[in-house]
Amino acid sequence: MTTAPRRATLEMLGISGARLASLVQVGGLREWREIHSPLDGTTLIGSVPVGTADDMVAATQRARAAQPAWAKTPLRQRCAIASRFRDLVIDNADALLDLVHWENGKSRVNAYEELLDTALTAGYYSVAAPCHLATKVRAGAIPVLTSTRETYRPKGVVGIISPWNYPLTVAVSDAIPALIAGNACVLKPDSTTPFTALAAVELLYQAGLPRDVFQVVTGPGEALGTPLINNVDYLMFTGSTATGRKVAAQASERLIGCSMELGGKNPLLVLADANMEYTVEGAVQACFSTTGQLCVSIERIYVAEQRYAEFCDKFAQRVKAIKLGAGFGWDDADLGPLISTSHLAKVAAHVDDALAKAATLLAGGHARPDLGPTFFEPTVLTGVTEDMALAREETFGPVVSIYSVASDAEAIARANDTEYGLNASVWSSSVCHARKVAAELTAGTININEGYAAAWASHDSPMGGTGISGLGRRHGSDGIVKYCEPRSVAVQRGLLIAPPKWTSRENYARVMNLAARVMHRIPGIVSV
């Protein structure tokens, strides 16, 4: 890796020294943090200021000052900015992919997944937002006499805390609906991947977004989280369940809304009638994309017992053929390294613990220091038992366990036997059969004959977790309306909703009791 193209890429994406210096919101001495690429652990991408609590407060104040004018900007103009942003993401794809690759380490093909998701999310909301935010006519209290409308006002300032694993799409894709809805945003990206987030926000500015409407503060979550939460009107958090619990508690203390997109221990079910070649290929993608560092990634596979041996054999063979590497080309590598040495240690500890307790290794199982400091082989285990850490804990790495199940009922029960509930995947040659199984699963997204991408990329439909996988939803109507205060405006004509003077209160109560029994059966009285 050479320095010149790196600098050129950052400059092409609008990240100059002056831009980085502008991240410092208040005066005074500031530490700068060097960002090194996980590809080799040494290549310096650049340095960013370590923001302070004062920087965060100042950023939220700038955003708050800019928000009212932004909310008055016509909705079609806000949508047009999102649409231009989509085009800029596609126009700058090569530079963005290089940056994601440097900063996160994921292979180019995996980086493209999130680039495409960013473009598609922006495109979706640029078209769908006017419908989601349109004033809705609702059934009034008294037919004919009450006309009621539901309207949406932006919350104000939305705080966004994002992780390192999808540094491009998670940093901006949740901000886009918030911005279109008329909010200002303040983003705190993960400390290890700030440049990708900054590049994405620069493209939003290039698309026409006023700078103060979207502020970025780089630095550690422990120092910046509290001042962010204390100064915003809504919090969008994506990260681990442990951190999610802490920030949700702070948001609830302030009685502000929050959306929590957290971890998972996602199951994949191979039913007896699954098409084996197709299922094996899909399961490899589902378990190992972004080296398993994906919230919706599969970590448990339940296979109908009559197909278990066949699946294990074919899956292990296919996993052994996965190419690890650090190359920038589309075909140089299927998978890149893990994000850090500390994460590598956690993943290796899960595997070592399982092997020490007599799990069986079908593929992988080892770190690959010959390729780089944080490479770990895609790993397949069987014989995993409850006493092993990875049986229930999220590994968040390229490690999957396979279990044999005697029936669909057992597969469903074991898939649901988790505190998490983010994603699940079902494979069968009969969609009808798969739908029946899917109906019994508790996860927030369920993919049939796909691992995770079909539901995630269905941007018109909600995505999020149940249980300790989170609160709230992104995508679809939920993904934009959550950034608004829905309000009911009701106009009453001719009659107050109180006993009239011309009859007794008792008569009034009799008439209203009758109305209460029949009113909601009249067509058009309830808007659905």
- Phi/psi of residue 425, nearest 5 degrees: -140, 140
- One residue of 156, 264, 462, 479 binding ligand NAD per CB under 6 A: 264
Residue 299 binding ligand NAD, by CB under 6 A: no
When the beta carbons of 169 and 379 are compared against ligand NAD, the nearer one is 169
- One residue of 92, 183, 191, 395 binding ligand NAD per CB under 6 A: 191
CB of 255 to ligand NAD, least distance (A): 18
Which one of the spans 27-35, 64-72, 261-269, 357-365 is the region binding ligand NAD (CB under 6 A)? Answer: 261-269
Which one of the spans 10-18, 183-191, 270-278, 485-493 is the region binding ligand NAD (CB under 6 A)? Answer: 183-191
Residue 463: name the closest of 451, 449, 477, 484 by CA. 477
Interactions with ligand NAD, residue window 458-497 (CB under 6 A): 465, 470
58 touches 75 (CB < 8 A)? no
Residue 240 binding ligand NAD, by CB under 6 A: yes
**Residue count, binding to ligand NAD (CB under 6 A):** 30
* CA atoms 393, 396, 397, 401: torsion sign: positive
Interactions with ligand NAD, residue window 409-448 (CB under 6 A): 422
Task: Name every residue whose Cβ is closer than 8 Å to that of residue 288 and which is 6 or more positions away in sequence.
Answer: 297, 319, 322, 334, 335, 378, 398
Interactions with ligand NAD, residue window 45-104 (CB under 6 A): none
When the beta carbons of 161 and 438 are compared against ligand NAD, the nearer one is 161
Task: Name every residue whose Cβ is closer than 8 Å to that of residue 458 and which is 6 or more positions away in sequence.
Answer: 475
Q: Indicate which residues carry an active-site annotation.
A: 261, 295
- One residue of 48, 133, 170, 402 binding ligand NAD per CB under 6 A: 170
- One residue of 9, 25, 173, 238 binding ligand NAD per CB under 6 A: 238
Interactions with ligand NAD, residue window 303-362 (CB under 6 A): none
Taking the C-alpha atoms of residue 520 and residue 512, their distance in angstroms, rounded to an integer, is: 13
DSSP-derived 3-state class of residue 380: strand
Q: 122 exposed, middle or buried (CB, 10 Å; 0-12, 13-18, 19+)?
A: buried
Taking the C-alpha atoms of residue 119 and residue 117, their distance in angstroms, rounded to an integer, is: 5
Residue 117 binding ligand NAD, by CB under 6 A: no
When the beta carbons of 244 and 282 are compared against ligand NAD, the nearer one is 244
Residue 311: name the closest of 427, 425, 216, 417 by CA. 427
Residue 152 binding ligand NAD, by CB under 6 A: no
- One residue of 20, 184, 209, 295 binding ligand NAD per CB under 6 A: 295
User: What 3 state SS string does 262-298 have?
Assistant: CCCCEEEEECCCCCHHHHHHHHHHHHHHHHHCCCCCE
Query: Which two structure tokens, joined as six digits, stand for 509?
Result: 């109560």
- One residue of 394, 398, 451, 483 binding ligand NAD per CB under 6 A: 394
CA distances from 441 to 265, 290, 347, 367, 473 (A): 13, 25, 27, 34, 18
When the beta carbons of 30 and 318 are compared against ligand NAD, the nearer one is 30
- One residue of 128, 176, 199, 262 binding ligand NAD per CB under 6 A: 262
Which one of the spans 72-80, 125-133, 262-270, 359-367 is the region binding ligand NAD (CB under 6 A)? Answer: 262-270
CB of 165 to ligand NAD, least distance (A): 5
Residue 190 binding ligand NAD, by CB under 6 A: yes
E strands present in 328-465: 360-363, 379-382, 399-405, 423-427, 445-448
Task: Name every residue whose Cβ is closer than 8 Å to that of residue 250 and which is 6 or more positions away in sequence.
Answer: 225, 226, 229, 230
* CA atoms 248, 119, 124, 82: torsion sign: positive
Residue 166 binding ligand NAD, by CB under 6 A: yes
495 touches 142 (CB < 8 A)? yes
Question: Which residues of this chain interact with ligand NAD, rule CB under 6 A?
Answer: 161-166, 170, 188, 190-191, 220-222, 225, 238-240, 243, 246-247, 261-264, 295, 394, 396, 422, 465, 470
